[in-house]
């Protein structure tokens, strides 16, 4: 089963995804995509790690800032394993920053998203992917911010399409979107 969890900053999406993973499986593999470039980010990562440790659910953590698709292609889940990838928008920003000086940045980042969507569609275990809704706020002042916002929106659409369930978390309340989706 493939499950996407999206929402705004501090909406409760990571804690929901962790609880849902514990509901679905016996143990979890947490794929951490963030890179602690400063003290504030390191503190955020420690908060997430502490919450997982205190949950009573058995988590193992894999730091994977770039090669999430490779992980999904190579990982053979044991019975009861749940993989949680947190966070796709940080993963995307890692790729954007790696390719930002390339003339074909959009194309190269899009290829990484396609690789992830393909690996996700072939993955036979249970996986939850946490991402952010970044297009609901103000228009970014700088070009790179606008490009990132657009790439994130396209990535979220692509990943949601590959998932069986898609949750929007607002104010800590998860709503399953695919059940509510309008069908032509």
Q: So what's the pLDDT on residue 99?
A: 96
Mean pLDDT, the chain, integer: 94
Q: How many domains does the chain have?
A: 1
Whether residue 34 is annotated as binding a ligand: the answer is: yes
Q: Is residue 184 part of a domain?
A: no
Q: So what's the pLDDT on residue 50?
A: 87
d(CA 2, CA 125): 8
Which tens digits make up the pLDDT trace of 104-161?
A: 999 999 999 999 999 999 999 999 999 999 888 788 899 999 999 999 999 999 999 9
Q: So what's the pLDDT on residue 49?
A: 85
Domain that holds residue 127: 2-179
Whether residue 51 is annotated as binding a ligand: the answer is: yes
Q: Is residue 124 part of a domain?
A: yes
- Looking at per-residue pLDDT, the higher value among 137 and 91 belongs to 91
Residue 92, CA atoms < 13 Å, CB-side half-sphere = 29
> In terms of pTM, does the model score above 0.85?
yes
Q: Is residue 20 part of a domain?
A: yes
Residue 98 corresponds to which tokens in the numbers above? Answer: 């790696």
CATH code for position 173: 3.40.50.300
Q: Is residue 95 part of a domain?
A: yes
Q: So what's the pLDDT on residue 53?
A: 84
- 35 pLDDT band, cuts 50/70/90, is confident
Q: So what's the pLDDT on residue 125?
A: 96
- 52 pLDDT band, cuts 50/70/90, is confident
Annotated active-site residue 48? The verdict is yes
- 71 pLDDT band, cuts 50/70/90, is very high
Whether residue 80 is annotated as binding a ligand: the answer is: no
Concatenated DSSP letters for the chain? Answer: -EEEEEESTTSSHHHHHHHHHHHH-SEEEEEE-----SHHHHHHHHHHHHHHHHTSSEEEEEE-SS-HHHHHHH--PPTTEEEEEE-HHHHHHHHHHHHTTSTTHHHHHHHHHHHHHHHHHH--SEEEEE----TTSPPPSSHHHHHHHHHHHHHHHHHHHH-SEEEEEETTEEEEHHHH----
Question: Which of 3, 4, 29, 48 is labelled catalytic?
Answer: 48
Mean pLDDT for 20-42 is 92
Whether residue 33 is annotated as binding a ligand: the answer is: yes
d(CA 105, CA 141): 19
Q: Is residue 94 part of a domain?
A: yes
């Amino acid at each position: 089963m493939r499950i996407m969890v999206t929402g705004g900053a501090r909406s409760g999406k990571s804690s929901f995804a962790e609880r849902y993973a514990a509901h679905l499986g016996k143990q979890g593999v947490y794929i951490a995509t963030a890179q602690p470039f400063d003290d504030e980010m390191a503190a955020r990562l420690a908060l997430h790690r502490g919450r997982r440790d205190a949950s009573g659910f058995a988590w193992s953590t894999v730091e994977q800032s770039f090669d999430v698709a490779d992980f999904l292609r190579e990982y053979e889940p044991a019975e009861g394993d749940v993989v949680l990838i947190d966070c796709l928008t940080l993963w995307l920003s890692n790729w954007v920053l790696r390719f930002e000086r390339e003339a074909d940045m959009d194309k190269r980042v899009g290829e990484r998203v396609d690789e992830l969507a393909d690996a996700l569609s072939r993955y036979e275990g249970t996986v939850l992917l946490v991402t952010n809704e970044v297009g609901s706020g103000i228009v970014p002042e700088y070009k790179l911010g606008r490009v990132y916002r657009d790439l994130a929106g396209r990535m979220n659409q692509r990943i949601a399409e590959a998932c069986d369930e898609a949750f929007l978390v607002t104010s800590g309340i998860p709503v399953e979107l695919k059940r509510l989706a309008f069908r032509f």
